[in-house]
Amino acid sequence: INQEDTIQNLVDLIKKFSKCKGNIQEKIDTINYMGEYRVNRDILKTTLAGKKMTTWSRSKNKEIKEAAKRVLNEWKTQIKGVNKSSGSSGKSTRSGSTQSQNKSLSEKGAEEKGLVHPDSVVPDDSKPNSNSSEDENEGKDDETKSPEDEEDYDEFILNNETEDKVRNGIRKGLEKLLCKSNENPKKCKALSIKIENSVVLRLGTHLKEYTNKCRSIIANLQRSDEFRSKIINGIFTPDDLAAMNPRDFLEDSLKKKRAKKETRIIDSKRSDYILANSKIKEGMYTCEKCKSKKTTFYEQQTRSADEPMTTFVQCLMCSHNMKF
């Protein structure tokens, strides 16, 4: 069977599985039929069979779970065998994209042979330059180990799937907003999962606090480009976001405005606020201590109603108090 027929047959079997519904035996037979096909990374990536099989391996039904795990192990063995055969000699006669893919992977060495999941691999046809310097080789090694690798993102996303509708809704909302400041959708999806996972680990047992925290993060992502860039650039890590106070999400300019407003409110409650913030002008009375005319006064009824009001005078220069 050629590669195109294998792809078509696997797609048909996946559709058949979804139509089985409550028929457990038919589902198990479908998984076993899928396991009879020889696969490679290209086939698994095209059909998404690896993802489906991983999902089925987490099924609550024990028989479906065991059958799916067995098929996954067989596929992993097949792919590892392809890598070893392509790296040991050039006698392999596979055609098309499978040949070029195995060749490129064999040249990357032992580091690429340890890939965990077959359907999370993105083919890389680039070859290392034999005349390159040690610094360039080190740079390439760093790139393969970097979390920017598409394979790492696929594997991380696959291992963090959830069937919880609330969690999935929050993840999609975070991903959509993060994509406004980043053109790599897989990075945004992985980052949204990390943020949501961190909030769950910290507040997952308290549903109200969990939802409030997620709403706060989403609201600030919608409002602030600066907040989005801080998350994408790693200034705010997912663990930081889960632990931070909502006030810490604000932009620096808003933080300064709020601080000024709070200071002004606190100062306004001081008894001498008017004196401290009013412009000094000459008043009606002269200070009997320093002879300055820069005074302020107020009148208050302190005696019986038929008596005149008492005038209280304060000097703005020496703070001397008088009353008449």
Above 50 in pLDDT, residue 291? yes
| Sheet containing 321-323, strands listed edge to edge, beginning at the edge strand earlier in sequence | 295-300, 310-315, 321-323
Top-ranked range on mean pLDDT: pick from 19-23, 126-130, 292-296: 292-296
Q: Which residues of 156-192 are buried (b: 16+ CB within 10 A; e: fewer)?
A: bbbeeeeeeeebeebbebbbebbbebeeeebbbbbbb
pLDDT band at 312 (very low <50, low <70, confident <90, very high): very high
Task: Give pLDDT, residue 274.
Answer: 61
Higher pLDDT, 104 or 235: 235
Q: Boundaries of CATH 1.20.930 in the chain? A: 3-80
pTM over 0.85: no
Q: What is the mean pLDDT of residues 264-276?
A: 70
Residue 290: its pLDDT value, please? 92
The domain defined by 280-323 carries CATH number 2.20.25.10? yes
* Of 104-113, 161-170, 215-224, 309-318, the least confident: 104-113
The boundaries of every CATH 2.20.25.10 domain in the chain are: 280-323
Of the listed ranges 39-43, 94-98, 147-151, the least confidently predicted one is 94-98
**Candidate from 24-28, 65-69, 158-162 with smallest mean pLDDT:** 158-162
Residue 313, beta-bridge partner list: 297, 322
Return the CATH architecture of domain 3-80. Answer: Up-down Bundle (1.20)
* Angle separating helix axes 225-232 and 165-178, nearest 10 degrees: 100
Q: Residues 33-74: pLDDT tens digits?
A: 888 888 888 888 788 888 888 888 888 888 888 888 888 888
Give the mean model confidence (pLDDT) for residues 154-164.
76
